[in-house]
Chains A and B, each alone.
Chain A
């Protein structure tokens, strides 16, 4: 369903992505590895459509993602380095907005997602007051709520405790079980009990 072919991308005069190609279908998890600066984040952002590749194409369900951008984005959830949350709003308010602009969402759904990611206890506190790990748990609840088929996760376990890292692995397994696709940039290999893992190493 997700097809990335021959992506070339320059950042300034640096040739970051040199012809990256891979494909993923329902139930597959692509684990991106590579040294710092190998272009993991760049690749994820290029797939998401935040960066325009100089060459190559990302296609989703057989059509170029660039041509049907809104449909592609409706199917996709992207979680970058920094959890995209408003510091002055509570976690719950953040999710009500970020999910609400994608699809109609009920308070019960938000509660369930927050409980699943272990964020219920601090969901009503201003995000500014939360620790980095707590913010990430709220952001993961947002990914869960998006209902997206394709998850693009950039270092999803950053700042999380051992329990949280397990949680991310379980969430990815569940997503794969729902016939979803996950593309995740990771430093350490992840043990997934279910789903098919496609390793992809980016050379610096």
Chain B
């Protein structure tokens, strides 16, 4: 008797969460990087609140993007090195589905904490308190789309010996739409505008990512395992 798809996803999620919490430093690194980048800007740019506020969407989004790239490298690499990713591919279960589960855990462990810590960084950039919920929501949604797109690049760079830089070069151009709409949502939140339209576009990118990215990632991983 074969294990059902939902149980497979449950097992993958439980395994990845357990592994992550046995190595908490790896979880904290991107978060610390993000906080430090966001603090460097007020120190170097200007102490003037109104000008910092103008720069805030850019700083928050570029910071979040770069720090999630740091974490992206670990999405499949360790599993590929110790041979467990091969087991995924040979289990007789859908590799696409398992990689989707892995990507969701990745977002849960990096994208979501980044979104939740965004207000701390945003305070230093003069973002008003009433805009915080919108900032969190936009970074969380954009981060999810980013994890999905990143999964494709992470799969494609599996075969490369030092894939870190290549991973960034592949992901960053694809991440431009997320960056544009995400920064727009944050900008509107700060200036008291309607964040609906950019959030809907981010949502559309995320839906597109859910439907296509796991398929592309599994094809890439199968090539990478050769």
Contact = CB atoms under 8 A, between A and B. Distances in A.
A35 to B, nearest CB: 23
A199 interface: no
A71 B90 CA distance: 10
B158 to A, nearest CB: 13
A83 B225 CA distance: 16
B200 interface: no
> Interface size for chain A: under 10, 10 to 19, 20 to 34, or 35 or more residues?
20 to 34
A51 B226 contact: yes
Contacts, number: 80
Interface in B181-226: 225-226
Identify the interface centre among B3, B8, B87, B90: most chain A CB within 10 Å of its CB. Answer: B90
B84 interface: yes
A148 to B, nearest CB: 9
B19 A102 contact: no
Contact of A50 (B1, B2, B19, B225): B225
Interface residues of B, number: 27
Contacts of B88: 101
A89 B226 contact: no
A84 B2 contact: no
A128 to B, nearest CB: 10
Given A82-B83, A85-B84, A50 B11 contact: no
Contacts of B90: 48-50, 73, 76, 78
A70 B83 contact: no
Interface string B1-43: 1110001100110010011001100000000000000000000
B91 A50 contact: no
Contacts of A97: 11, 15
B89 interface: yes
Given A100-B7, A100-B11, A104-B7, A87 B94 contact: no
B18 A84 contact: no
A107 to B, nearest CB: 15
Determine the main DSSP class of A at the interface with B: loop
Contacts of A87: 82
B22 A88 contact: yes
Nearest to B83: A84
Given A50-B86, A86-B82, A101 B22 contact: no
A2 to B, nearest CB: 15
Which among A48, A52, A71, A101 has the highest number of chain B CB atoms within 10 Å? A101
B92 interface: yes
Contact of B3 (A50, A52, A104): A104
B2 to A, nearest CB: 6
Contacts of B11: 97, 100-101
Given A50-B225, A88-B19, A97-B11, A102 B92 contact: yes
Interface in A65-87: 70-76, 78, 80, 82-87
A103 interface: yes
A93 interface: yes
B50 interface: no
Given A85-B82, A104-B7, A50 B89 contact: yes
Interface of A: 48-52, 70-76, 78, 80, 82-89, 93, 97-98, 100-104
12 contacts: A49-B90, A76-B92, A84-B83, A84-B87, A98-B84, A98-B91, A100-B7, A101-B91, A101-B93, A102-B2, A103-B3, A104-B1
Of all A-B residue pairs in the complex, the 10 with the closest CB atoms, nearest first, are: A74-B92, A84-B83, A73-B92, A88-B22, A84-B87, A101-B91, A100-B11, A70-B92, A97-B15, A73-B90
